Homo-oligomer: A and B are copies of this chain.
Amino acid sequence: MGASKPVSLNLNVRGLGLSATLAINEKCAALRSEGREIFRFGLGQSPFPVPTPVVEALRLAAPEKDYLPVRGLRALREAVADFHRRSDGIDAHHDRVLVGPGSKELMFLLQIAFYGEILLPTPCWVSYFPQAQIIGRRVSQIHTRAEDEWRLTAAQLEEGIADTQDDHRPRILVLNYPGNPSGTTYSATELRELATVAKKYGVVVLSDEIYGQTNHRGEHVSIARFYPEGTIISSGLSKWCGAGGWRLGTFVFPPDLDWLLDAMAAIASESYTSVSAPIQYAAVTAFHLGVEIERYLWHTRRILRELGGRITSTLHTGGVRVRPPEGAFYLWLDFSERADTLRARGIETSTRLCRRLLDETGVAILPGAGFGRDPHELTARLAYVDFDGSKALAASENIALDTNLPEGFVDHWCGNVISGVQRLVAWLDQESA
């Protein structure tokens, strides 16, 4: 009898592939190593370096070798609570902070701990759904509409809940803004309306604000302002601090959800134990947001705002529907106006669209199907991150922050992004084969 018994694989895991964003990243790397010119608009990794004071803090903390407390180093939890108090105007407390090796891992643990339904407005980030699948949780998707600019409305949320005729069902609503994949965010009014519905039904809101500090105008507002007792704020170093590969995420809980925090900490103690000690010490510096880091944030926002606006215009000329970005580094492309010509070229699904685009132009974007949308809806996510963020940042630092970037700046420093988008538009305009 051999040890080879794939029959003993958990059914929830059978056929599960690599996460879509990571898979495209690994595919692009392979194509590039074959010599293909590839425009890497797939993986949502910040193009910018980790701010220098944070790198220096990691160097200093290199000898730290002790297992840190499960919930996180106290100094870090204090810095995180302080960060949310100042940035979001909420009453965060360090005893209600949980530090994990990435907010993705924390969301995974949340889904293990919470026995209830996950409400996912789509399009949404690629990992929420497979996490639920692995753990065996029920997901209810709420498909947002193009006419609502792909935002969940309070009416839709209320309807989604009322339809089940089960007001008491335990639920977590995952709300991500500035949004991946939308690149847009919610207004304070919209958040207040959503909060009212969540409160009415006792829905826990997992507010994924990992892009909060990348709001292009520095004007991020958290739903926790309107629903503090039921909101968990998720953040981390990956996006605004450019440290995706460092793996550090944070959850902040309200007192009413202590039972959930305690359960997650117990699971953490039996799985990842605690986050890497040197990384936690370095993160204290990041969350303190000193003047150097604030400056870094404003420069990166200016570059992203300028570049995002620029390629949005280019895409409009190609008949692609896309909202001007408000945060993060994504655009959600809607090709519905080009559906006829695409269909004439044999393209009827978002997956086929992206595969053909990659094969024929080297432009890698992710199909809408990966974000929970109907496979036949011709949508896709473009991450405008394929440029050298260190160089762009250094160049921006020579230009006073109270001015706009000069003509030609993004062409020069983010040329690959602009070329890729132009190539995408040219491809759309091709005669059908």
Contacts and interface: CB of A to CB of B under 8 A. Distances in A.
B275 A116 contact: no
Interface string A179-207: 00000000000000000001111111000
Interface string A129-146: 011001000000000000
Interface stretch (A61-69, A287-295, A299-307): A61-69
Interface in A240-269: 242-248, 254, 256-257, 259-260, 263, 265-267, 269
B67 A267 contact: no
Given A244-B65, A263-B16, A276-B101, A2 B256 contact: yes
A433 interface: no
A3 B256 contact: yes
A8 interface: yes
Contact of A115 (B9, B104, B254): B9
A68 B248 CA distance: 14
Given A65-B243, A201-B1, A263-B9, A105 B19 contact: no
Given A49-B63, A245-B277, A115 B10 contact: yes
Contact of A65 (B7, B246, B259): B246
B275 A247 contact: yes
A25 B130 CA distance: 35
Nearest to A200: B1
A279 interface: yes
Nearest to A126: B270
A385 B131 CA distance: 39
Nearest to A229: B3
Contacts of A11: 115
A19 B269 contact: yes
Given A49-B63, A204-B3, A278-B278, A13 B131 contact: no
Interface stretch (A76-84, A106-114, A360-368): A106-114
B116 A8 contact: yes
A98 to B, nearest CB: 13
How big is chain A's contact interface, by range? 35 or more
Nearest to A169: B8
Contacts of A351: none
A37 interface: no
A67 B50 contact: no
Interface in A42-92: 43, 45-46, 49-50, 55-56, 58-59, 62-70
Contacts of A254: 3
A22 B55 contact: no
Contacts of A10: 112-115, 263
B113 A270 contact: no
A267 B9 CA distance: 12
A212 interface: no
Contacts of A274: 245, 247
A400 interface: no
A277 B246 contact: yes
A341 interface: no
Given A170-B5, A245-B65, A102 B266 contact: no
Contacts of A277: 245-247
A408 interface: no
A230 interface: yes
Contacts of A260: 6, 9
A127 interface: yes
15 contacts: A1-B168, A1-B202, A3-B204, A3-B256, A7-B170, A8-B115, A9-B260, A9-B263, A10-B112, A10-B263, A26-B69, A49-B65, A65-B244, A101-B276, A134-B270
Given A9-B260, A16-B263, A68-B245, 12 more contacts: A3-B198, A3-B256, A18-B70, A18-B265, A19-B269, A22-B70, A26-B69, A101-B101, A101-B247, A104-B273, A246-B278, A247-B273
